[in-house]
Amino acid sequence: MSAVPVVTRHARAAAVTVVLADSRPHDWAPLSTVDDIEVVAAAGNGREAVRAVLRHRPDVLVLDPQLADGATTIRTVAQTAPKTAVLVVTAVDDDTAVRTAFRAGARGYLVKGERASVAPAILGIAAGEVILGRGIASRITRLLSSPVGVDTLTTREHEIAGLLRTGMTNAAIGRELYLAPKTVSNNLSSIYAKLRVAGRAEAIALLAAQ
């Protein structure tokens, strides 16, 4: 397979670094003109995407999961490069695909008709936000909720979940509630189990929709 061209620009010191995994990387050329975004590599399939992420350690992987087994790619990146946030940008907009992406570890999901929103989404996801396309945001509770949910949380778990919803880190939650890091971690594990979510990003998305 021939090398996939990389969209480049003159990087700034504070640029958000991005790896693109899409079958049409040239479609992303406009990103090269966006301040504070530097595309460091492009990939044509899931394996190439993982290799590029491990090589460049970008802030964000923009992934079209139709390239390969998207869930596997997302899960591998989440496990091997946890500081790289995965933003799914795809033509697929169905409940199963959205749920699968978030449960694998994605931090955002846009459909390709919302491409104008990608640059702000990249900057937001790099800053710790969870990004949802307009149509997805309107139905996120139904997508991610289950019979066991927020109503089952203890008083302490409600306090922690409320701070988690604002984007606070574990350390910040501990300082706010005067809790040891291990206590925060244990409570978060219990919250994730009760909400039936795979991790932090999915929990924040679900809580934000309450």
Q: What was the pLDDT predicted at 180?
A: 92
Residue with tokens 């919803």: 165
Interval 106-116: pLDDT, tens: 999 988 776 66
pLDDT band at 206 (very low <50, low <70, confident <90, very high): confident
Tokens of 23: 């079958």
The residue that leads in pLDDT, 22 or 170, is 170
User: How would residue 147 be classed by pLDDT, with cut points 50, 70 and 90?
Assistant: very low
Average the pLDDT over 190-200 and give the result. 81
Q: Mind listing the pLDDT tens digit for each residue in 128-137? A: 888 888 777 7
Average pLDDT of span 64-72: 79
pTM: 0.63
Between 183 and 147, residue with greater pLDDT: 183
17 has a pLDDT exceeding 90: yes
pLDDT (0 to 100) of residue 56: 95
Q: What structural domains does the chain harbor?
A: 16-138 (3.40.50.2300), 143-208 (1.10.10.10)
Reported as a single tens digit per residue, the pLDDT across 42-62 is 998 889 999 999 999 999 999
